[in-house]
Chains A and B, each alone.
Chain A
Amino acid sequence: DAKTTQPPSMDCAEGRAANLPCNHSTISGNEYVYWYRQIHSQGPQYIIHGLKNNETNEMASLIITEDRKSSTLILPHATLRDTAVYYCIVRVAVGTGTASKLTFGTGTRLQVTL
């Protein structure tokens, strides 16, 4: 029941910006968009999350469209260590709304090359 759609794979040259798109056209007004990455089946690593506004931290930037139906994760200067599966996730309410879950899809496999 993932609410997101991502391309299965992308390539990026080292040193260039990696722009990973995500569609979440059925997102509700109070649902957050989260991005995680996973390397070699280690635990998912948190990257960034947001609700409406664009967000930036030391790892990446998150650009959310005004209608909130899509977003883009930007890694400004990709390195070989950024090769991973990137998950775009909508955090949805569970049960009566006092709980929530992350609904993972299949993600985008980003390959950074020399």
Chain B
Amino acid sequence: DAGVTQSPTHLIKTRGQHVTLRCSPISGHKSVSWYQQVLGQGPQFIFQYYEKEERGRGNFPDRFSARQFPNYSSELNVNALLLGDSALYLCASSQGTPASGNTIYFGEGSWLTVV
């Protein structure tokens, strides 16, 4: 079975541009979360979606937005890119409700470099 898949794997953007990152959860998983991992640090929570609704949001500016589609895939959008947005963006999926103790699986991430 396919795990959590993310695209693109690597990309380079210029300051001020916009980026869209995509995530396909494991089949049957309805909950998708996004995390940002800056080099040398642990991942930080950005968003959680369940059944196409935003259920949680981390301490990130409004330049960050996301959505979940009827097939439970998800997009993370970042506007007006800053150099500090350079990071590994991780998508995670789980079965069941977000508040339950389910196993959470991560994708390999999308490496974003802002120049």
Contacts and interface: CB of A to CB of B under 8 A. Distances in A.
A93 B99 contact: yes
Interface stretch (A7-15, A76-84, A102-110): A102-110
A44 B90 CA distance: 9
Interface in B57-108: 57-58, 88, 90, 92, 97-99, 101, 103-108
Nearest to A32: B101
Contacts of B108: 42-43
Nearest to A48: B103
Nearest to A94: B56
Contact of A43 (B33, B58, B90, B103): B90
A51 B102 CA distance: 11
Interface size class of B (residues with CB under 8 A): 20 to 34
A100 B103 contact: no
Given A99-B98, A100-B98, A105-B42, A46 B90 contact: no
A41 B15 CA distance: 24
Interface residues of A, number: 28
A101 B48 contact: yes
Contacts of A49: 101, 103
Which of A45, A46, A100 has the largest count of B CB atoms less than 10 A from its CB? A100
A91 interface: yes
B25 interface: no
A59 interface: no
B104 A46 contact: yes
A99 B56 contact: yes
B18 interface: no
